[in-house]
Structure 1
Amino acid sequence: MEQTLINLSQYTGTPAVTILVSTHRTFPDNKQDSIHLKNLITQVEKELYEQFDKRIVWPVLDKIKETEKSINHDYNLDTLAIFASPDSIQVKRLPVTTTDRYVIGDRFEIRPLLKAVQQSEHYYIISVSRQKIRLLEAFNDEIVSEVKNKDFPYLNNYYTTDPMRLKHDQIVDNLLKEFFNTADKRFKKYYEENPLPVILLGEERNLAFYQEIMDIRGLVIGTHHGSFDDTSDPDIAKVTFPVIQQYIAGKQDAALQAINAAQSAQRLLVDLNDIYTAAENGQADTLYIGQTYLPTGHIDKGVITLGNGNGSTDVTLPVIDTVLHKGGNVVFLDENALDNYQGIALITRF
């Protein structure tokens, strides 16, 4: 999704059409999604013909209508986003909420995609017990897959049932650590191919042992205690998703700390024109925007003038595009997080 975001942010040309539809994940609610999409496309068609010559409208409109026919709404998430130009079209299902709307201009409305990237997390789940180690891959509240091959699930061949040996805690602990160490080395191969954060599931004592022997430190972003040797994918996701939500919320706290530190170091800009100028000059490190910050106005010769007159547009879009194009980052924060900065703040590189 990150590559899609970069490609869309770099596009400029008219008409660039973005259609955003609030959708539903389950039947029968998702039956109305196709109706809402059709209504928006009708509005888009009307406005396109009002703004452009029909020879410019036809290529983009044909792509939109053809794509509409192929969309299966049974697979909807929270938002359906369509990005269309005369040369290309992309459809994305996003796990973030939006309001039904469309944008016609010379850039795509990429904020929902940015929010989806930042409010989503791809991660590993390792279920740890004395008998079995399971490795799963997940995205937000969905289990993508469980590794089932010669590596995992990994059954404990070190475990002893000898009653005399079981009386000696040190022997049991050493056998357990050896089992965990072998499992971790197997996991390390998957991590090196696709490095993702880790959530550990298991009894508290087992997780303490497992984290003690892990070769790569700092991977674990959360734990949950219990037994999950035979737990189904949906039930595991119910346990891990709240952990991921807490982890994502922690990122916002870290962002606010970074803003405070930048302000102390005199590397923080909060005026919209200063921010845009810094972005144009390649000085933007990270742009923070409140989710409801949507100022309208005009940009003329690099100067932003706010207002709601004829032809006013959302002036944050070119700012966001410029930051991304120059190699900076854009982060959306909760509605009131940036109230002290009027909704927007930029940390500069120097």
Structure 2
Amino acid sequence: MNTHRTRPENQQDPIKLKNLVREAEERLLNMESSRELQPLIERLHQLQASIDHNYNLDSLLLFVNHELAEYVRLPIAVKERVVIDQSFATRDLIRAMHLSAAYYLLVLSKQQARLIEAFNNEVVQEFEGDFPIENTQFFVTNKEEISDPRRHTNMLAEFFNRIDKVVNKSIKDHPLPVLLCTEEEHYHLYKRVADKKELLLEPFLSGNRVEEPAHAIVAAAWPIMEAWKKAQILQRKQELQQAIGAQKVLTDVSEIYQAIKNGQVQSLFVEEGLIQPAVIEQEQVVFVSDQKLSQKEVIDDIYDELMEECMRFGGEVVLLPDGELSQFGGCAA
């Protein structure tokens, strides 16, 4: 369900959640006996009561089964719905993941280096211990060398190389893309001496910001990361177009279903808003109307099911804006 971040709008959220919980309860009781479902319904009500709506973001997802009862707040709008199925509907989690970015910011100057972990426009942590790294030895003091620009560059390259080794040690257990925040000449020099160039992003945040607070640096970096994420999605779309040209694309939902089960799908492309109830009959996907959602054998959303299975078999799910896959009915693999 969609929620609100601030008052007084968020005072509507508990009422909306109550109505959706009631809808879920009614659908459950239409499918099974109340005795079997009472523990599940009680877990749902307990989870509902535990939510403090003062901390809401843009949407709220509840996941409940006999072993688990959890909720997730997301910074994106969602289509409001109740899903009752054998597996959780994770489309919105995947979409939030596609639109979000976890990354490191290496804030660099010729005197100092700081390392910040960020998620979107929020600071996760600033590394301490090995950071900040101060340049206490890699600078020219010899009078004869002060006028030699190559000597200055070599000394700075050595300082950056030492920084790079500490960065790689610090992030080896949790590798993420690294966005450099530095002046342009330093960006190119650092990239030249870096051991793991594949982790360094092409864009960089320009300027000397080593004295700025972490939250200000991350706020300035987020538009760059947001554009980078969108470029990644565009690149995947171009890869799909190439596969279409090579006639290596499946578009029939039943064929996609079979290929996923056989572990033959590397990438599944689905439009963000595509939702379709279905049943599986003799290994074929058969679409049904929303009026049959209360029937036990009906899968609330076959595309959620395909995404879950694709990821379970090691494949990747790529969500595209609505209309991008209209020639294929909204789904391709």
Provide the TM-score with structure 1 as the length reference: 0.85
Aligned 1:339-350 pairs, distance under 5 A: 339-346=326-333
Distance 2:75 2:40 in 1: 26
Structure 2 distance, partners of 1:252, 1:135, is 27
The residue number in structure 1 matching 2:227 is 246
1:292 aligns with 2:273: yes
Distance in 1 between residues matched to 2:8 and 2:192, nearest whole Å: 48
Alignment of 1:283 onto 2:264: yes
Match of 2:59 in 1: 79
Q: Which protein is richer in strand relative to its size?
A: 1
Partner of 2:172: 192
Alpha-carbon distance between aligned partners in 2 of 1:50 and 1:275, rounded to the nearest angstrom: 32
Q: Which residue of 2 aligns with 1:152?
A: 131
Residue 157 of structure 1: how far off its partner (Å): 0.8
Counterpart of 2:111 in structure 1 is 131
CA distance in 2 between partners of 1:231 and 1:264 (Å): 49
Check if 1:314 corresponds to 2:286: no
Q: Determine the C-alpha separation between the residues in 2 that align with 1:160 and 1:28.
A: 57
Gaps of 5+ in 1: 1-20
Aligned equivalent of 1:13: none
Equivalence for 1:328: 315
How far off is 1:124 after superposition?
A: 0.7
Q: 1:257 aligns with which of 231, 238, 248?
A: 238
Distance of 2:204 and 2:170 partners within structure 1: 20
Letter in 1 for 2:126: E
How do 1:1-350 and structure 2 match up within 5 A?
21-149=1-129, 151-158=130-137, 160=139, 164=143, 166-221=146-201, 222-308=203-289, 310-311=291-292, 313-346=300-333
Alpha-carbon distance, 1:196 to partner: 0.8
Distance in 1 between residues matched to 2:68 and 2:76, nearest whole Å: 24
Asked if the contact 1:131/1:159 (under 8 Å) is kept, the reply is no
SS of aligned partner of 2:73: strand
Change (3 A) 1:235 1:25: farther
Deviation sequence 1:110-153 (CA, Å, 0-9, x none):
1112212222221110001122101000111211000121x111
- For residues 42-61 of structure 1, the C-alpha deviation after alignment (integer angstroms, 9 at most, x for no partner) is 33223333333211221111
In the alignment, the residues of structure 2 paired with residue 71 and residue 309 of structure 1 have an alpha-carbon distance, to the nearest angstrom, of: 29
**1:162–1:321: structure 2 CA closer, same or farther, 3 Å change rule?**
closer
Question: Which ranges in structure 2 are unaligned for 5 or more consecutive residues?
Answer: 294-299
CA displacement at 1:309 relative to structure 2: 6.2
Question: Structure 1 stretch 140-149 or stretch 322-331: which is displaced more?
Answer: 322-331
CA contact (8 A) 1:22 1:80 kept: yes
Aligned length, in residue pairs:
325
Partner residue of 1:7?
A: none
1:159 shift after superposition: 5.4
Shift of 1:209: 1.4
Counterpart position of 1:12: none
> Partner letter of residue 134 of structure 2?
L
Provide the rounded CA distance (Å) in 2 between the counterparts of 1:31 and 1:230. 41
Q: Judge conservation of contact 1:297–1:309 (CA < 8 Å) in 2.
A: no
Query: Post-superposition shift, 1:201?
Result: 0.5
- Could you tell me how far 1:293 is from its partner in structure 2? 1.9
Q: Separation in 1 of the partners of 2:92 and 2:49?
A: 23
Q: Is the 8 A contact 1:59 1:86 kept in 2?
A: yes
Alpha-carbon offset, residue 251 of structure 1: 1.7
Shift of 1:311: 1.0
TM-score, normalised by the number of residues in structure 2: 0.89
CA contact (8 A) 1:128 1:202 kept: yes
Q: Which moved more, 1:153-162 or 1:200-209?
A: 153-162
Question: Once the two structures are superposed, what CA deviation does each residue of 1:241-300 show, in whole Å capped at 9, x if it has no partner?
Answer: 111111211222221222123234432101112212222333222111011222344332
**C-alpha distance in 1 between matches for 2:260 and 2:142:** 69
Which region of structure 1 is more displaced relative to structure 2, 270-279 or 121-130?
Answer: 270-279
Q: After superposing the two structures, state which structure 1 stretch, 259-268 or 232-241, moved more.
A: 259-268
8 A Cα contact 2:270 2:303, kept in partner: no
Whether the 8 Å CA contact 1:287–1:330 is kept in 2: the answer is: yes
